[in-house]
Structure 1
Amino acid sequence: MAAVDFEKGDKTMAFLKSHRLPPSPQNYTLAYIALFDSGSPIGRAIQEIVDEGYRIKQEEVDTIFDRHGGAAIYGLTDKAQGQRAAHLRHQTIKLGELASSAADATGAFARELTQEADHMASDSANTLSIVGRMIEQSQQAQGRLTEAMREVKELREELEAARNDAHRDELTGLANRRAIEVHLAELAEAGEPRVIALCDIDKFKSVNDRYGHSVGDRVLKLVAKTLEDICRPHFIGRWGGEEFIVVMQSDNVEAGVNLLDLARHELARKEFKLRETDEPMGLISFSGGVALAAGGADANAATLKQADQALYRAKSEGRNRILPA
């Protein structure tokens, strides 16, 4: 039996302790990768923070974990979203039954009217009473049916909105990680070549640490808006944290590099100031890596890795640049 390497476990726990992180499965996993697989995307993201002398925070660990698909490791899902959708489906079924009941009542009215027809003809004294009762039953059934259909319509709209929300990044309004993966899978299935560009805001952690997360959120929205303005109609999403993605249905990597360069120059033209003091924040920039995917779903994963490696080279060569894979 191979010897168990407790030393790595001890070092991992020491890393968590030094950064004041609880030893949860997620934190332990990321700490282990940071220490023993530092060249991986997760390892580089953590090292970029700690190499600058900062203590990594829990929210940063959560962001890195989410950005690199960490939820898939534990099979996590958006429980709240799932519960909401299940509740809406239940309500739709319930209201459908109500609509069916209202329709049954309308049918019962027709049958009862037929049965009462002979009495109405032979006993005119009761005619008005019978007709009045039938009209009242019809109106009640119609009212229940109308109300049921109104509520069904509202719930369908709410379900559609919830479905859209599940694929939309709340802060920037861009497509989120889930929507990005769906889009890439659809292109792969259709056999469409696609140029994938990953871009990451330069020194974003220092923005958050110096000015606070509210300013950081404004920077994220500014970069998202710039990418939208320049890169539409191509697909644009927030890959996670301060990282964005642009997907072009093309096989022209050079065109992808030029497009991201145009967005980068447009961002550099914008003057970003603090609202409270009107103090200029200086240059807001991003670095990017661009790669070509041609083939099925496996090509997506390989190309994302290539784009990430090109992005890392852009960072290491001085930031604020776009490089092809």
Structure 2
Amino acid sequence: MSKIDHKPGADALAFLVDQHLSPTPENYTLAYMALADPGSPIGRMVEAFTSEGFRLRQSDADEIIRLHLTRSVRGAARQDRTQHDALRHQALKLGEAASSAAAATGAFARELSAEAGSFGEGETRTVEIVARMIERSQSTASDLDATASEVAALRLELETARDDAQRDQLTGLGNRRAIDRHLQRLSNKGSPRVVGLCDIDFFKSINDRYGHGVGDRVLKQVASSLSSACAPHFVGRWGGEEFLVVMESDDAAAGVALLDQARADLAKREFKLRENDQPMGQITFSGGVATATGDHADSIAAIHRADAALYRAKAEGRNRICSD
């Protein structure tokens, strides 16, 4: 029996420990494939993130996994979206048909009512037939109106479900899917993008000291502050304690100014524990800004550059904004 080589697996686990990444199946697969084939797309992306001495953050690993290790999942998701869009299209068509039929039937009933008044007394039998037709037409029109209402409710449910699929449940901001689609729309129409990546300073210590319930409330407050300060620009939750702001512009300086104002606004807020009104101290974030002018891949590259700028802001003392 040939000896089993455990070294590749051990190297992958050692890589995860070195990068401070959890040994999840996804992370392990990422590490194993990057080390086994450094020239592969996965290997090259991992090398790009770690070549200058930076650690591979979980958000970076998630992005690589999303791009290269979930094709089958994305294929299934595309099929689900196709089915969803087809269902929505059918609902729209059915709603329009029901509404049109209801209007036509109602109009027919009104015409019959008008004609019935013109029959003479000697035509009683004809009047009775027309009366029954009118009654039946009115009943059908009522049923079609009810059907149209049901279809409208279905359409609303479909739109709500689609919106929920792109919304972060904790903060109410757009999630990774919404961010990706927003950036894709901007690149498709040729608009330049300024992306700003923000990370709450010392967030782990907040969770460790006060618990995840308080941490969640801080995340929601930061999300609200960013949304208000950066309106009308797009703000989404990138993951964990990170948020992404997108400006439809090529002015990086304006992006830095926008995030710096948002940073200052947040620093002025008073955070207190709900249970005993104890002050929590100042909550701040650091940010990195970069610009994209090309296709969607350029947006992803800009996010990576913004992340590198964010690292610099952290290294320089936090509570500041840097640009690439």
So what's the TM-score if we normalise by structure 2?
A: 0.74
Aligned to 1:223: 222
SS in structure 2 at match of 1:224: helix
List aligned pairs for 1:259-278, cutoff 5 A: 259-278=258-277
List aligned pairs for 1:99-248, cutoff 5 A: 99=98, 106=105, 124-248=123-247
Once residues 203 and 163 of structure 2 are traced to their aligned partners in structure 1, the CA distance between those partners, rounded to angstroms, is 28
**Post-superposition offset of 1:34:** 10
SS in structure 2 at match of 1:236: strand
Aligned to 1:40: 49
* 1:171–1:217 contact (8 Å) kept in structure 2: yes
Aligned to 2:256: 257
Aligned to 1:318: 317
**Post-superposition offset of 1:241:** 1.7
Aligned to 1:51: none
Once residues 183 and 176 of structure 2 are traced to their aligned partners in structure 1, the CA distance between those partners, rounded to angstroms, is 11
Higher relative contact order (CA 8 A, sep 6+): 1
Supply the AA of the counterpart residue of 2:10.
D
Aligned to 1:70: 65
Once residues 138 and 293 of structure 1 are traced to their aligned partners in structure 2, the CA distance between those partners, rounded to angstroms, is 61
Structure 2: gaps of 5 or more residues: 36-42
Once residues 155 and 100 of structure 2 are traced to their aligned partners in structure 1, the CA distance between those partners, rounded to angstroms, is 20
Distance 1:183 1:101, change over 3 A: closer
Distance 1:98 1:252, change over 3 A: closer
Supply the AA of the counterpart residue of 1:241.
G
* 1:99–1:144 contact (8 Å) kept in structure 2: no
* 1:102–1:144 contact (8 Å) kept in structure 2: no
Structural RMSD (CA): 4.1
Q: Deviations over 1:131-179 (max 9, x none)?
A: 3321221122111211111112222222222333333322222222222
**Post-superposition offset of 1:27:** 4.0
* 1:88–1:155 contact (8 Å) kept in structure 2: no
Distance 1:277 1:197, change over 3 A: same
Aligned to 1:57: none
Distance 1:7 1:74, change over 3 A: same
Q: Deviations over 1:12-49 (max 9, x none)?
A: 457889x9x7863x242356599995873895325xxx
Once residues 322 and 23 of structure 2 are traced to their aligned partners in structure 1, the CA distance between those partners, rounded to angstroms, is 38
Supply the AA of the counterpart residue of 1:70.
I
Distance 1:324 1:64, change over 3 A: closer
Structure 1: gaps of 5 or more residues: 47-62
Once residues 94 and 177 of structure 1 are traced to their aligned partners in structure 2, the CA distance between those partners, rounded to angstroms, is 31
Q: Deviations over 1:255-278 (max 9, x none)?
A: 222221221122111121111122
Distance 1:214 1:180, change over 3 A: same
Once residues 90 and 39 of structure 1 are traced to their aligned partners in structure 2, the CA distance between those partners, rounded to angstroms, is 43
> Across the two proteins, how many residue pairs are aligned to each other?
296
SS in structure 2 at match of 1:320: coil
SS in structure 1 at match of 2:235: strand
**Post-superposition offset of 1:106:** 4.7
Percent identity over the alignment is 55
List aligned pairs for 1:299-314, cutoff 5 A: 299-314=298-313
Once residues 125 and 169 of structure 2 are traced to their aligned partners in structure 1, the CA distance between those partners, rounded to angstroms, is 64
Once residues 312 and 220 of structure 1 are traced to their aligned partners in structure 2, the CA distance between those partners, rounded to angstroms, is 20
Once residues 207 and 34 of structure 2 are traced to their aligned partners in structure 1, the CA distance between those partners, rounded to angstroms, is 22
SS in structure 1 at match of 2:195: strand
Supply the AA of the counterpart residue of 1:278.
D
